[in-house]
């Protein structure tokens, strides 16, 4: 029987999954909700069903059964890191293939505290902080005191804390605390937020790394115990709410100014990531996120057990047996138990790539997400530019208010750094996004912010 994939996501990632299915000769079914009717992922899908919510597991499975799908691709966000859903997909009466790591791996690596413990045991450095969830404020204060002393011992000066919801992620549920006296009120605030949003009160405290680069490693594992990596990415440029805005591959610029040997550090970070992947029998695409300090210390932050938004910049600089890579295709292939057909020796890296996230947000007013109607969306095509977007060019598009107002990803390729920067600037000058909000004010986007931040690439930053 021919395999058929249910695409359980929306927008540009649904489009990229569709494209990967077509490249592999697989059938697919798309889903959408009422507010997404104008999205290109709905227009371009040959077969589609309207559902009540992208998080409604029953709706997704009902459509999968009705269409006799054999696999589910969860994309990113929504249910992609929900191990209960992954488990249900493979354990039900009519089981389906889950295009992602096994549910056990999603569960174990998704639990940041458990992941930290395992990493620590394997000799992988993690950020100094609590290793158990904290539930009361007296304990929180004591713990913070302890972490502070530990940090001084490790040579940190001027330490401040991050109070994080255990169940949080993507910049949600994190608050910074500068003084020990503020721990209690902030702890109460984060705990209340965590309970409201995630239904889990657990809070952890970590030290805040004052200056850092966010480096991540792209891993691919198969069900046959094969592992390769597709190098590193640098995602240091973020919004004040810790959401990524500009990403680059590779993660280190070999010609850049460092107080350490970047090639050596990169190799160490990749090796640690692969060790952790092997320990968990990781068998899909995955991202291992690290913080690197100006002194060359590095700490594992979290593992993302899904395809990431920024996966394609790694694909752009990676060549397998001299051919380009498509990580979504690879992810689907390994889910269907195929062998990789290549090893690390066959992977070569060439050039540099950058991604801009184009978002309708008011960067001058607290990065408020904006809704409204896009009346003009235009950019010039170039051989070095790949646009990933669900926003149509040919008619007005209303930004739905239920989701993040992500409009497009611009992926740019350059042979060398200067060349990449030139093209990136050219792109930002050429792109046109015009529209209005419902209050009839002009719709603003983050293009100006991106222009400003382009000068900060490969720098150590603080948020």
ω into 250 cis (within 30 of 0): yes
In the region spanning residues 335 to 374, those forming contacts with another protein, defined by CB under 8 A, are 368-369, 371
**Nearer Cβ to another protein (50/323):** 50
Q: Does residue 76 belong to the site contacting another protein (CB under 8 A)?
A: no
**Nearer Cβ to another protein (51/420):** 51
Selected from 226, 362, 404, 422, the binder of another protein by CB under 8 A is 404
**Nearer Cβ to another protein (281/401):** 401
Cβ of 415: how many Cβ atoms within 10 Å? 11
Q: Does residue 403 belong to the site contacting another protein (CB under 8 A)?
A: yes
Identify the residue whose tokens are 């991050």: 162
Give the whole-angstrom CA distance, residue 208 versus residue 127.
Answer: 9
Given the residues 16, 191, 306, 357, select the one marked as catalytic: 306
Q: Which of 142, 179, 131, 141 is nearest to 158 (CA)?
A: 179
Indicate the DSSP class of residue 171: T
Q: Does residue 401 belong to the site contacting another protein (CB under 8 A)?
A: yes
Please list, in sequence order, all residues whose beta carbon lies within 8 angstroms of the beta carbon of residue 104, skipping any fewer than 6 positions away: 83
**Residue 105: φ, ψ to 5°:** -65, -40
Give the whole-angstrom CA distance, residue 93 versus residue 105.
Answer: 22
- Stretch 25-54: interaction string toward another protein, x if CB under 8 A: --------xxx-------------xxxx--
In the region spanning residues 166 to 225, those forming contacts with another protein, defined by CB under 8 A, are 172
The minimum distance between CB 431 and another protein, in angstroms, equals 22
Contact predicate 211/460, CB 8 Å: yes
Q: Does residue 439 belong to the site contacting another protein (CB under 8 A)?
A: yes
Selected from 11, 74, 351, 405, the binder of another protein by CB under 8 A is 405
Task: Assess whether 306 carries a catalytic annotation.
Answer: yes
**Nearer Cβ to another protein (48/265):** 48
Q: Residues touching another protein: how many (CB under 8 A)?
A: 26
End-to-end Cα, the chain, rounded Å: 51
Tokens of 54: 């992208």
Cβ of 192: how many Cβ atoms within 10 Å? 11
Q: Does residue 243 belong to the site contacting another protein (CB under 8 A)?
A: no
- Beta-strand ranges (E) seen in 213-267 are 213-221, 227-238, 244-249
Q: Does residue 429 belong to the site contacting another protein (CB under 8 A)?
A: no
Selected from 63, 249, 291, 332, the binder of another protein by CB under 8 A is 63
Interface with another protein (CB under 8 A): 33-35, 49-52, 56, 58-59, 61-63, 66, 172, 368-369, 371, 400-405, 438-439
């Amino acid at each position: 029987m021919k395999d058929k994939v249910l695409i359980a996501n929306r927008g540009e990632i649904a489009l990229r999954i569709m494209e990967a299915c077509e490249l592999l000769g697989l059938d697919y079914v798309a889903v959408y909700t009422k507010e997404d009717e104008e999205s290109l992922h709905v227009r371009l899908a040959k077969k589609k069903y309207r559902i009540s919510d992208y998080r409604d597991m029953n709706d997704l499975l009902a459509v999968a059964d009705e269409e006799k799908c054999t696999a589910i691709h969860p994309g990113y966000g929504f249910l992609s890191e929900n191990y209960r859903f992954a488990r249900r997909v493979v354990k039900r009466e009519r089981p389906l293939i889950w295009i992602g790591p096994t549910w056990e791996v999603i569960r174990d690596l998704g639990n940041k505290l458990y992941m930290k413990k395992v990493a620590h045991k394997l000799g992988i450095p993690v950020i100094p902080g609590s290793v158990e969830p904290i539930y009361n404020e007296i304990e929180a204060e004591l713990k913070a005191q302890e972490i502070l002393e530990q940090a001084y011992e490790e040579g940190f000066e001027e330490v401040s804390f991050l109070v994080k919801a255990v169940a949080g992620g993507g910049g949600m549920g994190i608050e910074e605390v500068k003084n020990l006296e503020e721990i209690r009120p902030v702890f109460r605030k984060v705990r209340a937020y965590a309970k409201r949003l995630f239904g889990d009160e657990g809070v952890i405290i970590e030290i805040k790394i004052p200056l850092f680069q966010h480096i991540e490693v792209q891993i691919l594992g198969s069900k046959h115990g094969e592992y390769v990596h597709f190098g590193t990415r640098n995602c240091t440029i973020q919004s004040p709410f810790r959401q990524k805005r500009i990403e680059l591959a590779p993660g280190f610029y070999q010609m850049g100014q460092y107080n350490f040997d970047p090639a050596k550090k990169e190799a160490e970070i990749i090796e640690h990531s692969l060790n952790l992947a092997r320990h968990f029998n990781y068998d899909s695409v995955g991202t291992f996120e690290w913080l690197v300090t100006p002194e060359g210390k590095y700490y594992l932050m979290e593992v993302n057990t899904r395809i990431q938004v920024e996966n394609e910049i790694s694909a752009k600089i990676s060549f397998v047996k001299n051919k380009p890579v498509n990580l979504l295709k690879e992810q689907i292939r390994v889910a269907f138990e195929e062998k990789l057909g290549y090893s690390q020796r066959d992977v070569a890296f060439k050039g540099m790539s950058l991604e801009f996230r184009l978002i309708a947000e008011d960067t001058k007013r607290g990065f408020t997400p904006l809704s409204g109607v896009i009346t003009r969306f235009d950019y010039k095509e170039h051989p070095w530019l790949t646009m990933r977007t669900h926003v149509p060019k040919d008619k007005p598009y209303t930004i739905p208010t239920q989701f993040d107002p992500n409009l497009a990803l611009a992926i740019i390729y350059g042979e060398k750094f200067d060349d990449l920067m030139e093209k990136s600037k050219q792109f930002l000058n050429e792109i046109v996004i015009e529209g209005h909000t419902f209050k009839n004010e002009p719709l603003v986007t983050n293009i100006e912010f991106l222009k400003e931040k382009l000068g900060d690439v490969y720098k150590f930053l603080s948020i």
